[in-house]
């Protein structure tokens, strides 16, 4: 049983959405600070190298453009308007960044080794990678690299700039890809943390409400079927909330697990005896045998009205494993067991599919014993 819990599911989904938005907001705020620092650097470079400018008016116009975009992004960040931030990145910031780099060579009258505008476009490339994915970040980096090529071809003193061109392109491409990858990993981690917190909150709510109610029903109800149902629901709900135990690695541990489950769900006291020299079985064989024995215990409690059962496992004659399940219930006439019942369908089906066989010995008023033989792997 797994609770449908639609409100809980919506809560976990909303938590994951809020976590993603919080991460994006933090990234947007960090990029705003980077843009202002890059703009200050660009302005300082223009002031210091103003005598080397062939087109100072162009430089001032570009600074004005970057200032306008930076202000717009700052306003969008303060309003927490991520849609506006994305639109500005696509339709304003990246085009202005490309223009900055492309006109860099034309603005200077002499060969200038340092670009006055190159730091500022990095924010747009990183924003593209983080907000639109790694592929978008790489494409934005390539666009800046192409703009740098235009700048080198149109600027004075072209010379041998291929190494610088390649370095710039690689830098921007790596920045776009890395920002996208980093954001993806951080978003995944944030989502897992958010879902875990929401799950813990749901678990606390159910523990304080539903599980306590099921426990009260088990203690106070005189209806046997209702008590059994409450016990089963409590067990399965706890398993769903807190996780199932790891699968046992040997037959003895598997049988003890099945016995505990029968006790928790049905109130059946089960003794498990496993010989030391039981041969090893494959995982599929262990699961099949444990499932069959679990069905035997369920039948003993539900239909046989048994209070106690014994599970015994030892090496079979020749090779393989012999198991028996004996209970102190009311028993039944094996001659009238219907085909398709739990014993014939579930128990026989599980064992015979793996080459084993099942024998049932039951008498009215004297309990039931089920013998299972399974060849070893």
**pLDDT value at residue 3:** 38
**Per-residue tokens: 17:** 């959405």
**pLDDT value at residue 9:** 41
**pLDDT value at residue 377:** 66
What fold does the segment set 249-374 form as a domain? Heat Shock Protein 90 (3.30.565)
pLDDT band at 8 (very low <50, low <70, confident <90, very high): very low
The model's pLDDT over 148-206, given as tens digits with 9 standing for 90+, comes to 887 777 655 444 566 666 777 888 888 888 888 888 888 777 777 777 777 777 767 76
pLDDT value at 24 more than 80: no
- 3 state SS of 354: coil
**pLDDT value at residue 29:** 87
Can you name the residues that pair with 313 across neighbouring β-strands? 274, 323
Residue 208, burial from CB neighbour count under 10 angstroms (0-12, 13-18, 19+) = exposed
**pLDDT value at residue 340:** 45
Cα–Cα distance for residue pair 345/337, rounded to 1 Å: 11
Cα–Cα distance for residue pair 72/81, rounded to 1 Å: 11
Give the CB-side neighbour count of residue 163, counting CA atoms within 13 A: 3
Q: Are 129 and 136 in contact (CB under 8 A)?
A: yes
Q: Are 272 and 236 in contact (CB under 8 A)?
A: no
Q: Lowest-confidence range among 1-15, 187-201, 280-294, 363-377?
A: 1-15
**pLDDT value at residue 163:** 65
Whole-structure pTM value: 0.47
Cα 10 versus chain centre, distance: 16
Domains of the chain by residue range: 6-193, 249-374
**Per-residue tokens: 241:** 């909330």
Cα 217 versus chain centre, distance: 36
pLDDT value at 40 more than 80: yes
Cα–Cα distance for residue pair 273/262, rounded to 1 Å: 16
Cα–Cα distance for residue pair 270/260, rounded to 1 Å: 8
C-beta atoms surrounding 199 within 10 Å: 16
φ/ψ (deg, to 5) at 354: -105, 20
**pLDDT value at residue 338:** 46
pLDDT band at 7 (very low <50, low <70, confident <90, very high): very low
Give the CB-side neighbour count of residue 231, counting CA atoms within 13 A: 19
Q: Where do we find the tokens 């790891």?
A: 246
CA-angle at 310, arms to 308 and 313, nearest 5°: 165
Q: Are 109 and 59 in contact (CB under 8 A)?
A: no
């Amino acid at each position: 049983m797994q609770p449908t819990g639609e409100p809980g599911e919506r809560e976990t989904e909303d938590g994951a959405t809020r976590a993603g938005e919080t991460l994006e907001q933090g990234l947007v705020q960090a990029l705003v600070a980077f843009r202002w620092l890059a703009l200050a650097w660009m302005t300082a470079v223009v002031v210091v190298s103003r005598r080397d400018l062939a087109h100072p008016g162009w430089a001032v116009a570009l600074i004005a453009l970057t200032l306008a975009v930076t202000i717009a992004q700052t306003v969008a960040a303060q309003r927490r308007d991520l849609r506006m931030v994305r639109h500005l990145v696509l339709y304003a910031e990246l085009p202005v960044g490309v223009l900055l780099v492309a006109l860099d060579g034309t603005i200077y009258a002499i060969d200038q080794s340092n670009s006055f505008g190159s730091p500022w476009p990095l924010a747009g490339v990183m924003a593209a990678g983080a907000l639109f994915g790694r592929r978008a970040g790489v494409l934005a980096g390539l666009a800046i690299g192409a703009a740098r090529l235009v700048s080198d071809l149109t600027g004075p003193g072209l010379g041998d700039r291929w190494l610088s061109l390649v370095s710039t392109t690689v830098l921007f491409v790596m920045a776009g890809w890395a920002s996208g990858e980093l954001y993806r990993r951080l978003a995944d981690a944030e989502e897992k943390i958010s879902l875990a917190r929401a799950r813990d909150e749901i678990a606390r709510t159910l523990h304080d409400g539903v599980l306590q109610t099921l426990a009260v029903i088990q203690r106070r109800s005189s209806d046997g079927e209702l008590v059994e149902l409450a016990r089963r629901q409590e067990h399965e709900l706890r398993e769903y909330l807190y996780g199932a135990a790891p699968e046992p690695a040997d037959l003895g541990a598997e049988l003890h697990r099945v016995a505990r489950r029968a006790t928790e769900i049905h109130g059946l006291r089960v003794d498990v005896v496993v010989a030391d020299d039981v041969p090893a079985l494959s995982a599929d064989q262990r699961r099949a045998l444990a499932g069959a024995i679990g069905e035997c215990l369920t039948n003993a409690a539900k239909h046989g009205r048994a209070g106690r059962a014994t599970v015994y496992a030892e090496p079979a004659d020749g090779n393989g494993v012999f198991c028996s399940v004996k209970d102190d219930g009311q028993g039944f006439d094996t001659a009238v067991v219907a085909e398709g019942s739990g014993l014939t369908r579930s128990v026989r089906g599980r064992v015979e599919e793996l080459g084993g066989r099942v024998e049932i010995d039951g008498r009215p008023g004297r309990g039931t014993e089920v013998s299972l033989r399974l060849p070893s792997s």
